[in-house]
Amino acid sequence: MSTTDALQESYQRYLNQLFDAKLLIPSGVKGVYGRSGTFENVIDQFEQYVTRQTRDMKPEVVRFPPVFNRQHYAQTDHIYNFPDLMGSVHSFMGREPEHAELLHKFQCCGDWAHDLDATEVMLAPAACYPLYPSATGTLPEGGRLVDLKSFVFRHEPSDDPARMQSFRMREFVRLGTPEQALAHRDFWLENAQRILKSIGLDVQPVVANDPFFGRGGRQMKATQRDQHLKFELVIPICSEEKPTAITSCNYHLDHFGSVFKINSADGAVAHTACMGFGLERICLALFKHHGLNISQWPESVRKLLDLS
Amino acid sequence: MSTTDALQESYQRYLNQLFDAKLLIPSGVKGVYGRSGTFENVIDQFEQYVTRQTRDMKPEVVRFPPVFNRQHYAQTDHIYNFPDLMGSVHSFMGREPEHAELLHKFQCCGDWAHDLDATEVMLAPAACYPLYPSATGTLPEGGRLVDLKSFVFRHEPSDDPARMQSFRMREFVRLGTPEQALAHRDFWLENAQRILKSIGLDVQPVVANDPFFGRGGRQMKATQRDQHLKFELVIPICSEEKPTAITSCNYHLDHFGSVFKINSADGAVAHTACMGFGLERICLALFKHHGLNISQWPESVRKLLDLS
């Protein structure tokens, strides 16, 4: 059996275990699942644990819906770098004659969706994307620290239960001077390890890169790695050889600051950094490492996550 | 000033108050807003209140992501009845030459999104839509009672702060015999009034209809009203004359049961009914009726919602 086949089999086996244990609910689409109350409660409790751990930092809490402004999307370089992952929202904007045409195509099993019109929104590819355009202007003295969470979309259908198309990301974002942004990234690289290790997830930090598209993307990946802009915390879920990133810590330099005209209090272009917990992946890692039955998880983990 | 102008002005005034109070954050798209921590906390606390009120019923908790299977969408009659509200998710599925074409169109400000391909998913138009296809088969004795929540999408850009394009719906759905479904709808029509009145929202029940599309839709609206299938609980938010539905109680007869082949334990086609709380609308109604400053809300409301 090839390595790819073995990996594929391992994905299917774990996915079926999750379905059998009624933790995830199949939808007929790869990477799109319902979540049971048990699964959701682990995510809720992990989130509350993180909230308790960050209370002293007094972050501003902001929550965005899963859709965001198409014009803001167009200002980022997502369409250049990750076109294959995008989610563009389309709808029917015609009147009755066009509706009749749409239904005709639909009934004849044609590509009925092709003639829909692009709406004003895209699906957010990361929880922090909608924040930057809302921060245009001058930051307060000391910059901003923002606590975000949202459903994000990445079109990458996969059998890997940890590679969902629609999942939640809890992020802490720093907007300020280069020093503040870099310190945030470095603090969270340590702090997220401490949090995850405390609940029995023995993560390893690795230098990482985003999945830039195409041949041109190779150079981007190399540059990102050389500059040590992105770190991930990884842990095996379905494979020891290919561990899964459950947290990502990124320093964006002045990228979002210049695109969305965000300045720090001293007038310079703001730098930004974000740390994101992949909530479904963390939940899947917990079930993988502690077992599918929460009542048998280590007492210390159950206590920290208030699961007793 | 015409009634329409007066209503429009009232929308804008309340929306600006919500922006000024930093409860909602503008995104540049009508009906798409960020939510502050204060706004979110009211929603969280209302949800926990509802959870406490329903604990004895022991509903199954299930949570679906904001996207759902396009094939399941095609099995419903949404494209016939509400085409103008749909959200169809499209992505780029080409290789490098097609990417170059996409970027060319994008850079020349063409309709770059038109050539994207439809993905396997649509945005869910209601929290309960993804549940029915997952329930195909025979229900357990006594049927099922399911507690759902998700972000739903309706493409209806509006200045009315209560008419969001992307918002959360908390639903309780009953699948079973006609008697069980109807009893669920009637129970919740009473129970939701009790819950909402207890937090100072003096809602009125009204017979309602869904916003069926086009001229053919007029007949559908009339039939739905005649059969008393849908009730809403309404309360003024921006207008006394046009109060806003903040809760909806619907009896679907055997519609979803026959489309998705769901049978009750006795082998008959299952009937279904759902009750949905519009979480953002309830939150907006609370701020409208009790004021933008939570510390000045009635003590009884603050106590029930644990906001002290």
| Residues of B with Cβ-Cβ distance to A105 under 8 angstroms | none
Would you call B111 an interface residue with chain A, using a CB distance cutoff of 8 Å? yes
| Per-residue pLDDT tens digits for B77-132 | 999 999 999 999 999 999 999 999 999 999 998 899 998 999 999 999 999 999 99
| Per-residue pLDDT tens digits for B37-54 | 999 999 999 999 999 999
Terminal Cα distance for chain A, rounded: 42
Closest residue by Cα to residue A123 from B237, B276, B32: B32
Q: Which two tokens stand for residue A89?
A: 């929202």
Tally of CB atoms within 10 A around A36: 19
Would you call A65 an interface residue with chain B, using a CB distance cutoff of 8 Å? yes
Tally of CB atoms within 10 A around B58: 9
Stretch 253-292 of chain B: residues touching chain A, C-beta under 8 Å = none
Cα of B246 vs its chain's centroid, Å:
9
| Residues of B with Cβ-Cβ distance to A40 under 8 angstroms | 61, 63
Radius of gyration of chain A (CA): 21
Query: Residue with structure tokens 């095996």?
Result: A236
Closest residue by Cα to residue B72 from B275, B262, B282, B296: B262
| Per-residue pLDDT tens digits for A223-236 | 999 989 999 999 99
pLDDT at A215: 87
> What DSSP character marks residue A305?
T
Task: Give yes or no for residue B175 having a pLDDT over 70.
Answer: yes
Q: Which two tokens stand for residue A253?
A: 């330099």
Would you call B100 an interface residue with chain A, using a CB distance cutoff of 8 Å? no
Q: What is the band of B234 on the pLDDT scale with cuts at 50, 70, 90? A: very high
Stretch 217-236 of chain A: residues touching chain B, C-beta under 8 Å = none
Which residues partner with A247 through β-bridges? A233, A277
* Confidence (pTM): 0.97
Each residue's pLDDT, cut to its tens digit, for chain A (308 residues) gives 688 888 999 999 999 999 999 999 999 999 999 999 999 999 999 999 999 999 999 999 999 999 999 999 999 999 999 999 999 999 999 999 999 999 999 999 889 999 899 999 999 999 999 999 999 999 999 999 999 999 999 999 999 999 999 999 999 999 999 999 999 999 999 999 999 999 999 999 999 999 999 988 999 999 999 989 999 999 999 999 999 999 999 999 999 999 999 999 999 999 999 999 999 999 999 999 999 999 999 999 999 999 98
CA–CA separation, B261 vs B254, rounded Å? 10
List the domain boundaries for chain B. 3-89+124-304
Looking at chain A, list the stretches that DSSP marks H as alpha helix, in order from N- to C-terminal side.
3-20, 37-54, 70-75, 78-81, 96-107, 131-134, 178-198, 216-226, 255-259, 279-290, 299-304
Would you call B112 an interface residue with chain A, using a CB distance cutoff of 8 Å? yes
Phi, psi of A78 (to 5 degrees): -60, -40
Q: Do B65 and A91 touch (CB under 8 A)?
A: no
Which residue among B68, B84, B112 sits closest to A92, beta carbon to beta carbon? B84
Which residue among A25, A87, A112 sits closest to B89, beta carbon to beta carbon? A87
Element (H, E) at B89: strand B88-91
| Residues of A with Cβ-Cβ distance to B133 under 8 angstroms | 27-28
pLDDT at B1: 65
CA–CA separation, B270 vs A20, rounded Å? 24
The size of the A-B interface in CB pairs under 8 A is: 206
CA–CA separation, A47 vs A305, rounded Å? 9
Query: Right CATH number for B3-89+124-304 from 3.10.105.10, 3.30.930.10, 3.40.50.720, 3.40.50.1000?
Result: 3.30.930.10
Q: Which two tokens stand for residue B248?
A: 């909806």
Stretch 164-183 of chain A: residues touching chain B, C-beta under 8 Å = 164-167
- Name which of B19, B23, B27, B145 to mutate to probe chain A: the one with the most chain A Cβ atoms within 10 A of its Cβ: B27
Closest residue by Cα to residue B288 from B4, B6, B24: B24
Element (H, E) at A286: helix A279-290
